[in-house]
């Protein structure tokens, strides 16, 4: 039986796919954080590469991948293989067929280089000397540190304090690539100092780390900012995943009935899902799309679809998105990349309009699935990815109950070899589950500006 398909390097996609071309309606514009009025994209070029700002608002269906980025993709593990999980299927005794796309097989260990390489490439062309960024689990920080090393740019990373303490080797990896890494909140920035004054051991969150990275950027010349998720150009770069997977599923002679992925800001899942979603939006597929979030940060399952700041310090534009509120204190779950209050605007629209569903799992539920996966398929996935594995196993068990032979495709967004503490806590029974009560979520949502 076929268990793996690979693409020839020459068959790696030459363009990124842009979902904005096919969305049921244009995305609501971002709002200026001071005036709360729709803002033009130009001010974003203080932060992002000019090319990325153009991509942010483009509705072109395809955007060519520059040769310099293609070369880096090829060198660092693309095209990535797609596997069939026959051992997991057998263990579950399910008639479902389970497929997974491997985004863990590059030196940084996750999907994040797909956009880190592209952003670093554009910045190197535009003369940027230093990039600042945030990181949750450290996966994005590692990917950007690696990409900055390859394109000769300095890199400063604000790493959420909870991950900084849980994953010391992620910090070391970033430093090996030459980055400067700070636990966030840090004393480097005004916004960091504010949160440290509230709590000297503040666990931090992606929202706070974003504020710090943005403040560091705008207060220093020749410094720009790179972002690992949520915004349109990041999701665009990630579409390489799904475009490869579309071709690879054809090689398996299968079409997915379910497309599954975990969501922090939404980038790995959008990367896999959007090239399949294109067919659904065009009425040519009735595949179901299932985004999986942690119960600890339930943006799409218990939050609201409305305008919110992208960061906790209220420095970024406001985006219309599912959110639990930018002041929501994300509990310190191991899947640090899922500790973000909001979700990508395009994904939020697709969920809101019913094209995509979302579900939530606790970290114990997710890590149980990760251990089953490790013991059947042999791969130790990232705690973030474990959420996608949980949803996949549950779908496969539903198929077993109904005796249905469905095809389930999920994104293996990263490996967990630098996240073994999560596995250790799971196996020793000390993994804590968090589920915010309604009042906590309502309080965070009350702090959102009222936008008509």
Ligand X SMILES: Cc1ncc(COP(=O)(O)O)c(C=O)c1O
Q: Minimum distance between the CB of residue 136 and ligand X, rounded to whole angstroms? A: 5
Q: Which residues bind ligand X (CB under 6 A)?
A: 110, 136-137, 139-140, 229, 262-268, 337-338, 382, 384-385, 413-414
Q: Minimum distance between the CB of residue 229 and ligand X, rounded to whole angstroms? A: 3
The whole-angstrom separation of Cα 68 and Cα 49 is 15
Nearer to ligand X, 262 or 367 (CB): 262
Burial class of residue 131 in the structure, from the number of CB atoms within 10 Å of its CB (0-12 exposed, 13-18 middle, 19+ buried): buried
b/e sequence 404-423, b meaning 16+ C-beta within 10 Å: eebbbbbbbbbbbebbebbb
The whole-angstrom separation of Cα 21 and Cα 24 is 9
Token pair belonging to 68: 């310099």
Q: Minimum distance between the CB of residue 381 and ligand X, rounded to whole angstroms? A: 8
Nearer to ligand X, 137 or 366 (CB): 137
The whole-angstrom separation of Cα 277 and Cα 54 is 23
Token pair belonging to 222: 């020749």
**Furthest CA-CA distance within the chain:** 61
Q: Minimum distance between the CB of residue 81 and ligand X, rounded to whole angstroms? A: 17
CA–centroid distance for 433 within its chain:
21
Cβ 19 vs Cβ 270: under 8 Å: yes
Residue nearest to ligand X (CB): 337
Nearer to ligand X, 19 or 137 (CB): 137
The whole-angstrom separation of Cα 445 and Cα 323 is 8
Q: Minimum distance between the CB of residue 167 and ligand X, rounded to whole angstroms? A: 11
Nearer to ligand X, 134 or 425 (CB): 134
Nearer to ligand X, 262 or 399 (CB): 262
Q: Minimum distance between the CB of residue 191 and ligand X, rounded to whole angstroms? A: 21
Nearer to ligand X, 185 or 271 (CB): 271
The whole-angstrom separation of Cα 415 and Cα 229 is 18
DSSP string, 289-344: EEEEEETTS-HHHHSEEEEEESSTTS-SPEEEEEES-TT------S-GGG--SB--
Nearer to ligand X, 128 or 268 (CB): 268
Element of type H or E holding 83: strand 82-84
Nearer to ligand X, 315 or 382 (CB): 382
Nearer to ligand X, 139 or 407 (CB): 139
Nearer to ligand X, 89 or 103 (CB): 103
All residues at 6 or more sequence positions from 442 whose CB lies less than 8 Å from its CB, including other chains: none
Q: Minimum distance between the CB of residue 219 and ligand X, rounded to whole angstroms? A: 26
Angle of helix 113-125 relative to helix 50-57, nearest 10 degrees?
Answer: 130
Nearer to ligand X, 208 or 399 (CB): 208
First to last CA, the chain: 56
Q: Minimum distance between the CB of residue 40 and ligand X, rounded to whole angstroms? A: 26
Burial class of residue 452 in the structure, from the number of CB atoms within 10 Å of its CB (0-12 exposed, 13-18 middle, 19+ buried): exposed
Task: Report the 10 Å Cβ neighbour count for 196.
Answer: 17
Cβ 343 vs Cβ 266: under 8 Å: yes
Could you say which DSSP state residue 3 is in?
-
């Amino acid at each position: 039986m076929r268990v793996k398909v690979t693409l020839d390097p020459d068959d790696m996609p030459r363009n990124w796919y842009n979902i904005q071309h096919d969305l049921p309606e244009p995305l609501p514009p971002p709002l200026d954080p001071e005036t709360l009025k729709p803002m033009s994209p130009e001010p974003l070029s203080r932060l992002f590469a000019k090319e990325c700002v153009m991509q942010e608002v483009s509705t072109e269906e395809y955007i060519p991948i520059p040769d310099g980025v293609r070369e880096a993709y090829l060198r660092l593990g693309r095209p990535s293989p797609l596997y069939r999980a026959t051992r997991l299927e057998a263990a579950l005794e399910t008639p479902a067929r389970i497929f997974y796309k491997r985004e863990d097989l590059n030196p940084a260990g996750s999907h994040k280089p797909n956009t880190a390489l592209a952003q670093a490439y554009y910045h190197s062309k535009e003369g940027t000397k230093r990039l600042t960024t945030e990181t949750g689990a450290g996966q994005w920080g590692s990917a950007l540190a690696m990409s900055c090393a390859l394109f000769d740019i300095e890199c400063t990373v604000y790493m959420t304090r909870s991950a900084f303490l849980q994953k010391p080797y992620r910090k070391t990896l970033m430093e090996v690539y030459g980055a400067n890494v700070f636990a966030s909140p840090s004393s480097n920035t005004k916004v960091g100092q504010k949160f440290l004054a509230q709590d000297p051991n503040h666990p931090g969150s992606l929202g706070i780390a974003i504020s710090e990275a943005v403040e560091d950027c705008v207060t220093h010349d020749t410094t720009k900012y790179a972002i690992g998720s949520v915004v349109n150009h990041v999701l665009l770069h990630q579409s390489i995943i799904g475009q490869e997977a579309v071709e690879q599923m054809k090689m398996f002679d299968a079409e997915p009935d379910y497309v599954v992925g975990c969501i922090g800001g939404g980038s790995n899942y959008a990367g896999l899902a959007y090239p399949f979603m294109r067919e659904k939006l065009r009425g040519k597929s009735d595949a179901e799309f299932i985004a999986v979030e942690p119960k600890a940060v339930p943006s799409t399952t218990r939050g609201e679809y409305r305008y919110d700041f992208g960061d906790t310090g209220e420095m970024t534009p406001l985006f219309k998105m599912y959110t639990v509120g930018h002041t929501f204190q994300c509990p310190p779950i191991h899947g640090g990349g899922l500790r973000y209050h909001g979700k990508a605007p395009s994904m939020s629209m697709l969920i809101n309009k019913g094209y995509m569903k979302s579900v939530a799992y606790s970290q114990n539920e997710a890590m149980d699935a990760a251990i089953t996966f490790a013991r059947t398929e042999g791969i130790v996935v990232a705690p973030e990815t474990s959420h996608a594995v949980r949803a996949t196993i549950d779908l496969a068990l539903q198929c077993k109950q109904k005796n249905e032979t469905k095809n389930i495709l999920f994104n293996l967004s990263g490996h967990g070899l630098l996240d073994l503490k999560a596995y250790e806590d799971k196996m020793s029974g000390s993994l804590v589950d968090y589920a915010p009560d309604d009042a906590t979520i309502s309080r965070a949502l009350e702090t959102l500006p009222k936008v008509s």
